[in-house]
Amino acid sequence: MSEPGRAGDPPLSPVRANGELGALVRSARRRGGRQGNGGRAGNLATAGAAHGGGAGCPPLLGDLLLLTPNLLPPLVFLPLTRGGKRCCPLAMAFRDVNSRRHTGLQQLSSLASAGRTLLGPMKSCKFVVDESTNQSMLICSAVRLIESLDLSSAAGQLLNETIQAQNKEFKTGMSTLLFLVGAWSNAILECLQQNVPVSAIVSAMSEGLNSCCEKVQCLQISVHDVSKELCSTSVRPNTSSSKTYEFACDSFLNPQIFLCLQKEVSPSIELVPRNSCSHQEADSNLNKGLVSPLAGFGSIASPVRSADGNNASVISGSGVSASSCKQKRLTHSRYFSALATSPSSRQLDDSQVCLSGQSAHPCECYGLGHLARALSHGNEPNMKLLKSIVAYQHEQAECSGSNQFNIAEVVTCCLPGLPESYSCVCPGFVTLISPEQATVIKHFGDKPLRILLTEGDLTEAYRHLGFTKPRNVRTVLERPDLQEGRPGDVWLNTALDILMRSQVSLVLVKGHVCENLLERCVANKILVVGSVPQKVLSAFGEASGAQPVTYLTQLSASCVGSGAQLELWTASDGRAMDLGELVPIRIRVRGLTLLTAVLTTAVPAKMQLVEDRFWTFVYRLHHALRDGKVFLGGGAVELLCLSHSQALAEQTLKLANKKPVKEFHGPWLAASSAEYKPVVLQALASGWSQYLAAVMCNTAKATSLFEARTLIEHHLKKAADCGSPSAYVLKEFQTGGMFRGGPVPSTGNAEGCRVYDNVTAKTEAWRRALDLVLLVLQTDAEIISGPQSNQLLNSPASSEFMFL
Amino acid sequence: MSRLEAKKPSLFISDPLTKDTVSQSLSLLNRILKSCYGPAGRLKQLHNGVGGYVCITSQSSAILGRLSVSHPVLKVLTTSVQNHVARFSDCGLFTAILCCSLIENFKSLHVPSCTVIKISKDLLSLCTDYLKSEACGCRVSVDFSNLKTLLCLVRSILTSKPACMLNATEVEHLTMLIVKAFMFTIPCHVETKAVLGKCVTIPVKGRRVLDSTVLPGLLIETPEIQFAKLLSVKRISSDTIKIAVFCVSMSGDLFNPEEGMITVHHGVSLEMSELNQLLNVGKQLVNDEVGLVVCQKVIHPSLKQYLKENQVMVVDRAGLSVMEPLSQMTGSKPIASTHSFSPSCYGSLKDVCTKSFGSKHFVHLIPNDTVVCSLVLCNRNETTWDELKRACETAEHVLQLTIKEPVALLGGGCTESHLASYIRYKTCSLSTSSFKDADYSQTQYQLIADAFCCSLESVACSLSHDDKILTDTVYGHHWLVPSGFPSVSNWSDLLSKCGCGINSNTQNLNWRLLRPHFGSPTLQSCPKEPSVKTADVLTLDCFAAKYSGLQVAVETANLILDLKCIIEDQN
């Protein structure tokens, strides 16, 4: 199953992936191959269905890199619109219909298509395999995907920059951004095919998006209202639903039976036949008559080249995760992490955090719990962790009167090798140290310890930033002193002496610690912990009264804090952990507000993924509280955008027919003529429509893109008939029709599944996506300077370049 | 033993302009620059092809700075344009395009170059005289008591840089900020010689443009660690803080002798003696009741600790860019030594507080007299931020140039087409008698003048990349028809406003298509000055920059046309 126009790909041996994995991402050494292939790694089936033959032009990515080195000129000028002949290599007049292909947009679209399966609450993970080391890593976020791709093309660089910027600012919305970049690039390429001038596309697109952003303001709810509403309507939070999950799990193996049962249970609910992710079953049972592009969902190995294998962690058994994620498409716990343990054992034992009256309190977590659940997007395991954080911080706030949810006081500690049920939140700082160091702890007991914080490394050679070591100083020794020993010993003795004199038992170091000092400290019952994050240092400084120092010689009595307590970290069942080389310990100080989320997973390759997910969720709640409002989620916002942009398109079309061009927005703010506006707005709308369809497919609300489209059309029509689309969307959301979170329809549980989204993060992701696409669209040429351009002159591809 | 190598002979190239490669390169450069021009200009991706930083821009300063042209003829051109940009910031593309067009057009005439140069100088002075005269129909005076014109000037600059990716509200917001920042830099009490203050741009990348803001005083970034524990500052009185500014490194490293060895005895630590010296400085600062110490470079942690213990606030790694505004603002003299300095170097501040933008933390120094301000500039990613910063600097510079000469030119191509109409009219109306003493014929003069006008018009035409260009025969202004409409005779149905926005389509102005071809019809009368100049939104250009750009373009073109040979030293 290959796509038209993509035959030019180098023959990469397709690796049979289990149908459940969205894609298999292969990585290569730096700049090994044509990075463009990564673009197609995503989901061939989705891509093919979404754009038919529209994207059928081979992305001309790797051209620049396939060149042999050769001589001179210092500058290369590469027009971005190809298809012109050699005689007109600039091709800046795009009058030729067939030559209206924008390389940059093609690059964006192919890169973005790799991230299709990462969209929505139910993501399909990807493996990143480093071919040089055979190490691999599971990823499920757009940031990690982009990090693993070889992005030496200019458009790729810009895409990377945009996604990193979104990640830095919000930690969420990157997959949306990546997807929309692809969808809008494709839509705009089609506009170019229809000879729409660039300026018209730019102005109509950005005006359209602005208008959409204004329109969806009516779908914002204040955080306060959400909590109130959800708390009051919350019914039987866990008991009935968990049964349904199990039921769903059981029936997973035979979708037909499942469907029948569902029909009996809730005949009134409109049923969408669910496709299991295993395509053999899907083919034989459900989709015989349907042309289902999704059937091949994960069955094509879609390799993505990784430029950087350094950050890949070692994976021991890919088969384990493959089989464990097999069921994810049908279970309520959407992440296969939930399946590593049975749903009943998911109950977290909160021995460390006392959730006062969890069962008695009608709405746990003091109002934030329901909001968090609505923002969790099915992230069950992390939901528990977040509840603990909120509960603990609430307790703190009652003492100190500070704010309710403080993200700065949360750190994570990753313990690969433990089952996920061991994840929990502990007050204090949990970190890993070596077993030798751990022996110190038993000497301490419950005794409060004196604590020292240092900001730099704890080594002899370390000097503060900005200090340049003199290179031309020679030390002469007049009379050798044989007793003095090795040269490093002077420093070591001084350092130890200082620590002993100030009776410090615990040293937290931001940077590295000298090995010898570490040993000597262990012998003298001082525990030194290196690589401590800045926010941990600050928290300990505040709680213990310690002042961070850079050098030990700075140490004075006022710098040392007191009251620290040390213990081995034990899991909820009292089992002390021995993770091979490292031992987890917990450090506490009275009044310390710091919390550590201990994240565990039995599959080491998943560690990064588990941590990423935790932070995404935490930040989502953080942003919701900061914005003070949330969007109705589950596609409600996007559906309104879709309907609004289509309505705008129709409006302008009518206007254009009635009154042929009189209104211009001023001559220089891009003379967008009403003639092209409908086409461009349709392109904008197609972005939303593709987004909705992809989410529906990923969450198994629809079995195929075709079906998803039909469903969307159906809702659009109903919305239009209703007169006010926003009212329709609100009603649908209230009654829990289209925008329900749970993929398994079950009676009476609709309220519990309401989904909300971040406002700023989402609208910013849209804006950033569109900005990037428009930026690339307006680019008509690449100017390559430096040594690379010298190589291009005599290369086979030199005909595509102009030289200055 | 030295080795001698025979010198290579120099390369002699005669009549470089007649060579094919030169004209091809020249026309390519012209096409690159033309395609960048104006608010609908196409952008260029500038990078090194191996995954380095990608710059997306349409500004001449960025493009020419990264273009490494090899041919001497092109080098002359780009260097003089870059010189112009360094002095005026604006109108770089105008200058470069005009220069390229002039060379191309003049070359095709086959008139001896000395004649061309003589006549084009004549025409240039005709232009400059007209632009300087009160009767000039394409200039507006700038009224500083009314913000409207200033806002128009800034807005025109921002909208002409599409790679900033601003929408209409963002343009308005930034326009206001830039004008506000400029107002801050004007001193309140002007003595004999007024000096404008400084506006320092503070980068905050990754945030929305609408988060940008202007603050009086200076912001200096500090790491989070310091931010958390900034203490209350020692004050001399309730609104005076004594400040010491160091421009020398206080990190405790040795003065760096370039060569030679220093030999020290074992047990002697140069570092310790250096640190002791620094601590002595600290003591002096504490004794002198200094409340705030700012260092351009790094301060030793021990000194920092000592100062903090004595309630002196410390800000280090302030960077070179804040040093000048800092001393201007506080009246302090940067101290360049850690051994001796006089208390007269200290300055004073009104207040100090802390501010955060996104993940960045700043110390905010508030002066008594505001001539220095900080523009906190945000844009969504690095590429667009860089472009926006260039645009903002240009805008600030243009405002400074405008306060010196409070005149602006109509933008949007109107000045160019108006000027062309004016010259056509003037040269037509010359009588044959005026050529008696000249060593060129009237035909030659007409030819050159026509080529000159065509070049001006082709600059105006390169503003449009999809659309048709018209000009009217009354005011000589520049009009734009969106693409997608067939050529019709009744243009008035399609037109609303001219390029600069001063004229609207209220009367029949007898439009014609503007094609930069030779032999365009001349006007029957001198192009008029628009009667009403009160339109709200005008596109305006900086007078000084365009005036100089015109001169630079003509003179550079003349210089290049005059090139007879190139002698290249190949060693």
> Would you say residue B553 lies in a domain?
yes
* Across A732-755, average pLDDT: 58
Q: With CB atoms and an 8 Å threshold, state whether A785 touches B259.
A: no
- The answer to the question of residue A440 being in a domain is yes
> Both B250 and B165 in a single domain?
no
Q: Which of B69, B467, B493 is nearest residue A804 as measured by Cβ atoms?
A: B69
Note whether residue A525 is domain-resident: yes
Q: Among A241-245, A571-575, A645-649, A700-704, which stretch is predicted with the lowest mean pLDDT?
A: A241-245
Does one domain contain both B210 and B70? Answer: no
Q: Domain check: are B321 and B234 in the same one?
A: yes
Per-residue pLDDT band at B208 (split at 50, 70, 90): very high
A504 in a structural domain: yes
Chain B: residue whose CA lies nearest to A787: B48
Is residue A188 within a helix (H) or strand (E), and if so which, with residue range? helix A174-193
Q: Which residues, other chains included, contact B490 with Cβ-Cβ below 8 Å and sequence gap of 6+? A: none
Adjacent-strand bridge partners of A587 = A429, A566
Residue of chain A minimizing CA distance to B257: A472
By Cβ distance, the residue of B71, B261, B381 closest to A472 is B261
Please give the pLDDT value at position B122: 92
Question: Domain containing B245 — which CATH number?
Answer: 3.50.7.10
pLDDT digits (tens, 9 = 90+) for B445-466: 999 999 999 999 999 989 887 7
- Asked whether residue A494 is domain-assigned, the answer is yes
Q: For residue B56, report the phi and psi dihedrals to the nearest 5 degrees.
A: -110, 120
Whether B202 and B236 map to the same domain: the answer is no
Domain assignment of residue A489, given as a range: 429-593
What residues of B are in contact with residue A785 (Cβ under 8 Å)? 46-48, 66-68
Instruction: State whether B422 and B551 are in the same domain.
Output: yes
pLDDT tens column, A174-193: 999 999 999 999 999 999 99
Quote the pLDDT of residue A446.
84
Mean of pLDDT values over A625-648: 91
Q: Do B301 and A549 touch (CB under 8 A)?
A: yes
Question: Could you tell me if residue B374 is inside a domain?
Answer: no
Tokens of A292: 């289902």
pLDDT score recorded for residue A313: 34
The two three-digit tokens of residue B242, written as one number: 């004594």
Confirm if A753 and A236 have CB atoms less than 8 A apart: no
The whole-angstrom distance between B182's CA and the closest CA on chain A is 25
From B41, which residue of chain A is nearest by alpha-carbon distance? A778
- How many angstroms separate the CA atoms of B113 and B485, rounded? 42
CB contact under 8 A, A774 and B165: yes
Q: Region A417-431: what's the mean pLDDT?
A: 90
A538 touches chain B (CB under 8 A): yes
Assigned domain for A541 exists? yes
A228 lies in a domain? no
Structure tokens at A580: 């091979």
For residue B194, the model assigns a pLDDT of: 79
Better pLDDT: A322 or B334: B334
Residue B172 burial (CB < 10 Å; 0-12/13-18/19+)? middle
**Is A773 inside a domain boundary?**
no
Do B421 and B398 lie in one domain? The reply is no
Q: Does A74 touch chain B (CB under 8 A)?
A: yes
In this structure, the dihedral spanned by the alpha carbons of residues A229, A231, A236 and A238, taken in order and rounded to 10 degrees, is 110
The answer to whether the Cβ–Cβ distance between A778 and B43 falls below 8 Å is yes
Please give the residue of chain B at the shortest CA–CA distance from A537.
B225
Tell me which chain A residue has its CA closest to the CA of residue B73.
A804
Alpha-carbon gap, residue A76 to A92, rounded angstroms: 16
- B253-279 mean pLDDT: 78
Shortest Cα–Cα distance, B59 to chain A (Å): 13
What is the C-alpha to C-alpha distance for residues A335 and A382, in angstroms, rounded to an integer? Answer: 11
**What is the pLDDT confidence band of residue A223, given thresholds at 50, 70 and 90?**
confident
Q: Specify the range with the lowest mean pLDDT, choosing from A82-91, A647-656, A684-693, A749-758.
A: A82-91
Strand stretches in A487-592, DSSP E: 506-509, 527-529, 561-568, 583-589
Q: Which of A:690-749 have CB within 8 Å of B?
A: none
Taking the C-alpha atoms of residue A157 and residue A64, their distance in angstroms, rounded to an integer, is 14
Cα distance between residue B444 and residue A484, in whole Å? 95
Cα A140 from Cα A328, distance rounded (Å)? 14
**Number of domains making up chain B:** 3
Tell me: do B388 and B481 sit in the same domain.
Answer: no
pLDDT of residue A282: 35
B52 pLDDT more than 90: no
Q: Which residues from chain A sit within 8 angstroms of residue B100, using beta carbons?
A: none
| Domain boundary residue, one of B314, B347, B369 | B369
A749 pLDDT more than 50: no
Whether residue B532 sits in one domain with residue B421? yes
For residue B485, give its domain range: 13-138+410-568
d(CA B464, CA B478): 11
Q: Domain check: are B95 and B173 in the same one?
A: no
pLDDT for residue A259: 33
User: Do A666 and B317 count as a contact with CB atoms less than 8 A apart?
Assistant: no
Spatial distance between the Cα atoms of B32 and B96, rounded to a whole number of angstroms: 11
Pairing of strands A583-589, A561-568: antiparallel
E-assigned strands of A417-539? 424-427, 429-433, 449-454, 473-476, 506-509, 527-529
Chain A residues whose CB is inside 8 A of the B205 CB are: 165
Please name the residues in contact with B367: beta carbons below 8 A apart, sequence gap of 6 or more. Answer: B216, B217, B218, B329, B330, B349, B350
Q: Which residues of B touch A192 (CB under 8 A)?
A: none
CA B565 to chain centre: 34
Q: Which of A558, A667, A764 sits opposite B496 (nearest CB)?
A: A667
Has residue B23 been placed in a domain?
A: yes
In this structure, the answer to whether residues B280 and B180 fall within a common structural domain is no
- The pLDDT assigned to A500 comes to 93
Instruction: Please give the average per-residue pLDDT across A317-334, as a whole number.
Output: 31
pLDDT band, residue A375 (cuts 50/70/90): confident
Total structural domains in chain A? 1
CB pairs under 8 A between A and B: 260
Percentage of the residues of chain B whose pLDDT score is greater than 90: 51
In this structure, what CATH number is given to the domain that contains residue A460? 3.50.7.10
Res. A76: pLDDT tops 70: no
| B562 and B422 in a common domain | yes
Rounded-to-integer distance, Cα A775 and Cα A770, Å: 8
Residue B261 falls inside a structural domain: no
How close B368 comes to chain A (CA, Å)? 32
Predicted pLDDT at B570: 82
DSSP class of A93:
S
Least confident of A503-507, A725-729, A739-743: A739-743
Question: Is the model's pLDDT at B86 over the cut of 70?
Answer: yes
Query: How close A469 gets to chain B, by Cα (Å)?
Result: 7
Q: How far apart are CA B34 and CA B63, in angstroms?
A: 12
Q: What pLDDT does residue A733 have?
A: 83
Percentage above 70 pLDDT, chain A = 61
Residues 607-626 of A with CB under 8 A from B: none
Residue A243 lies in a domain: no
Neighbours of B166 (CB within 10 A): 24
Quick one: pLDDT at residue A633?
85
Query: What are the phi and psi torsion angles at A341 (to 5°)?
Result: -125, 155
> Is residue B263 situated within a structural domain?
no
Give the C-alpha separation, B387 to B274, whole Å. 44
For the entire predicted model, the pTM comes to 0.82
Residues B561, B418 share a domain: yes
Each residue's pLDDT tens digit, B283-310: 999 999 999 999 999 999 999 999 988 8
pLDDT in tens, A432-465: 999 888 888 888 888 899 999 998 899 988 988 8
What is the average pLDDT score of chain A?
69
Q: Closest by alpha carbon to A311, among A670, A707, A605? A: A605
